[in-house]
Amino acid sequence: MVDPLDLFANTADGVVAVDAQGRIVLWNDAAERILGYSTREVLGKQCCEVLKGLDPSGNRFCYPGCNILTMVKHSEPVQNYDLEITTKAGRSIWVNVSIVVIPGSRKGLEVAVHLFRDVTYLHRLHELIREKEEFAPAPASDNGAAPELTKRERQILQLVAGGLRTGAIADKLCISPATVRNHVQNILAKLDAHSRLEAVALATKHHLV
């Protein structure tokens, strides 16, 4: 008989599965790649000791008998949520987490499978947008008017906003990476931006994406 946990071992998302006591019983390769901890380092440990997650308000989210495990215990559905986690290397990242519950042979033996993916880019983008809206005055040259972008430039900017890199954009649009880079440089010049992230923030402010 196939162990249901084996179905999650090779997913592209990071996977950490915990038992009803909060102990880690599965840690896949993607989880190691995203967070830096190996299976040997975390297996059997309390999930909260490893993740030490904070919610978007900076409050402690991970603790023994956390709200997620309580909801699983009471068979309540868990909506996906964002969590700030510190990697083994000490880098702060944001992940979006979805929960899948594997029932046990009896109550109290459930396994909560946490599937997570890195969404740090989106959080940094939202922070930059807020900063721009709060502190940056509209350019005097255009009196706040939205810069004019071509249809292709808007298309590429939309893909950049979705987190795609040059190669992935080129593949999606069937153009060369060099052409993508040229379009990006034109976009940066038109928006007076110094990075792709800043360009997306400005484009969002002007409702271009």
In terms of domains, do 102 and 151 share one?
A: no
Domain count, the chain: 2
Structure tokens at 186: 């034109």
Q: Answer yes or no: do 128 and 99 share one domain.
A: no
Q: Specify whether 94 is located in the same domain as 137.
A: no
Q: What does the buried/exposed string (b/e) look like for 70-97 if buried means 16 or more CB atoms within 10 Å of the residue's CB?
A: ebbeeeeebeebbbbbeeeeeeebbbbb
CATH assignment of the domain containing 181: 3.40.50.2300
The predicted structure's pLDDT at residue 57: 83
Q: 118 - beta bridge partners?
A: 95
Q: Provide the CB-side half-sphere exposure for 195 (13 A, CA).
A: 7
What is the pLDDT, as a whole number, of residue 83?
A: 92
pLDDT per residue, tens digit, the chain (209 aa), is 557 777 787 788 999 999 989 999 999 999 999 999 999 999 999 999 999 999 888 889 998 888 888 888 888 888 999 999 999 999 999 999 999 998 865 565 788 999 999 988 877 777 776 666 555 444 444 445 667 888 888 889 889 888 888 988 998 898 998 999 999 999 888 888 888 888 888 888 777 77
Query: Residue 18's pLDDT is what?
Result: 94
- Same domain assignment for residues 35 and 83: yes
Domain boundary among 95, 118, 141: 118
Domain that holds residue 163: 123-205
Q: What is the DSSP string of 82-151?
A: EEEEE-TTS-EEEEEEEEEEE--SSTT--EEEEEEEE-HHHHHHHHHHHHHHHHPPPPTTTTTPPPP--H
Where a domain ends, among 76, 97, 118? 118
